Amino acid sequence: MTVMTASFAAATITELPPSARFSLRTTDPIAASASLGLELPTKVGARAAAGARTALCLGPDEWLIEAPEAETPALIATFSNLEARLPLSAVEVSDREITLALSGPAVLDLLATGCPRDLAKLAVGSGCRTLFDTVQVVLTREAEDRFHLTVWRSFAPHLRALLDIAARELAAGL
Amino acid sequence: MLLIRCPYCEQDLPELEFAYAGEAHIARPQDPSQLTDEEWRDFLFIRSNPRGVHFERWRHVNGCARFFNAARETVSDRFLCTYKAGEARRDISALTGGAE
C-alpha cells in the first residue's frame, strides 16, 4: 500500500479483502434474477445491488456477480439449483481476480495514465470492462472520486507497480 | 485515437478496446465436400480488399467481447456505421450519400 501524507494524497491505492465473484452467462436474466434476489441489469455497464450483492452487466449475456466472501456457498447452491432449470454457465472466479480501490481527488488522472476510455463519463454506480496498459480490467465507479479496479491476479503486481508510480508522480505534481 | 461505436454497448469507445476480425458477410458453404478446390480456396483465402467502403467484422474484445460488423472507408479510415452481427449488410449508397 502506498504511504502518503494527507496533504499530498492526490490518489490512494488500497487492495481490498477477498470477495466472492462469479462470472454468469445466461440468455434468460429474468429467470436468474428471481433466484439471485437481485435484478440483473440488461444494459451493458449497468450495475444492480441488493444488500451486499452486486451484479455488473459486462456484455449482452454476461454478468459479474460480487458478494462478501461468506456468501460463496450460498451462491454456489443458488447457481446449482438454477442450472437444473436454465441453460446457464456460472463460474466461480473469486480467486482469479484482485480488486484495488482507487480514490482521491486525482483518481481520474491516475486512471487516465493507462486507460483509454473517457472515465469522466462513467456514471457513479456503473462499471465497464476495459484496458489498463494492455491488461484487461473491470472498473466500477463507487463514487465521484472512488473507483474499484478488478484485475486478474497474475497481472496485479504489474498493474500495481504502474499505479504506484503514477500516484507518486501525481503526488509530486508532475 | 479512433473512436468506434459498439452496437452492443451503444457507446463510442477507443480503438484499443477492439480487434479487427476480417471481412464480414462471408458465409461458410453448407456442404464443403461438394465444392471444387478453387471454390474452397476462394472461401478460405480470397478477400475483396477494396479501395473504398469495406464491410468488416470487429470484436469488442476488451469490453462486451461481442463480434459486430462495420462499414469502413479504407481511404479515410472513417467508420460509416457499425451494426450487430447477424443483421443484413447496409446499403453503401445510403452510407456515402450516393457518392460511390
- At B6-27, the pLDDT tens digits run 999 999 999 999 999 999 999 9
d(CA B82, CA B89): 10
Q: Is residue B23 part of a domain?
A: no
Reading chain A (174 residues) residue by residue, the pLDDT tens digits are: 555 444 457 899 999 999 999 999 999 898 889 888 899 999 999 999 998 999 999 999 999 999 999 999 999 999 999 988 888 999 999 999 999 999 999 999 999 999 999 999 999 999 999 999 999 999 999 999 999 999 999 999 999 999 999 999 998 887
DSSP state string for A7-36: GG-S-EEEEPPPEEEEEEEES-HHHHHHHH
Which chain B residues contact residue A129 at CB under 8 A?
62-65
Spell out a b/e string for A16-39, using b for 16 or more CB atoms within 10 Å of the CB, else e.
Answer: eeebbbbbbebeebeebbeebebe
Q: Which pLDDT score is estimated for A6?
A: 40
Q: How far is CA A110 from CA A1, A82, A147, in A?
A: 15, 41, 11
Q: Is residue B35 part of a domain?
A: no
Q: Is residue B87 part of a domain?
A: yes
Angle of CA points A83, A88, A91, to nearest 5°: 90
C-alpha cell at position A9? 494524497
- Check B1 against A117: CB less than 8 A apart: no
Q: Is residue B38 part of a domain?
A: no
- Check A117 against B62: CB less than 8 A apart: no
Reading chain B (100 residues) residue by residue, the pLDDT tens digits are: 899 999 999 999 999 999 999 999 999 999 999 999 999 999 999 999 999 999 999 999 999 999 999 999 999 999 999 999 999 998 877 777 655 4
The three-state (H, E, C) secondary structure of A128-174, written as one string: EEEEECCEEEEEEEEECCEEEEEEEHHHHHHHHHHHHHHHHHHHCCC
Q: Which pLDDT score is estimated for A1?
A: 53
**Closest CA relative to residue A102, chosen from A58, A166, A40:** A166
Contact A94, A16 (CB under 8 A): no
CATH number at residue B79: 3.30.2270.10
Domain total of chain B = 1
Minimum CA–CA partner of B9 in chain A:
A44
Structural domains for chain A: 6-16+96-171 (3.30.1360.120), 19-92 (3.30.70.1520)
- Check A131 against B17: CB less than 8 A apart: yes
Q: Is A44 on the interface with B (CB under 8 A)?
A: yes
ipTM above 0.90, yes or no: no
Q: Is A136 on the interface with B (CB under 8 A)?
A: yes
Q: Is residue B56 part of a domain?
A: yes
Helix A72-85 and helix A29-36: axis angle, to 10°?
140
Minimum CA–CA partner of A137 in chain B:
B62
Q: Which pLDDT score is estimated for B99?
A: 55
Q: Which pLDDT score is estimated for B98?
A: 59
Q: Which pLDDT score is estimated for A55?
A: 96
* β-sheet bridge partners, residue B83: B69
Spell out a b/e string for B59-82, using b for 16 or more CB atoms within 10 Å of the CB, else e.
Answer: bbbbbbbbbbbbbbbeeeeebbeb
Q: Is A62 on the interface with B (CB under 8 A)?
A: yes
Q: Which domain holds residue B53?
A: 49-100
Which of A59, A60, A116 has the CB atom closest to B14's CB atom? A116
- Check B16 against A131: CB less than 8 A apart: yes
Minimum CA–CA partner of A116 in chain B:
B14
Three-state SS at B96: helix
Q: Is residue B3 part of a domain?
A: no
Q: Is residue B6 part of a domain?
A: no
Q: Which pLDDT score is estimated for B93?
A: 78
Which chain A residues contact residue B16 at CB under 8 A?
116, 131
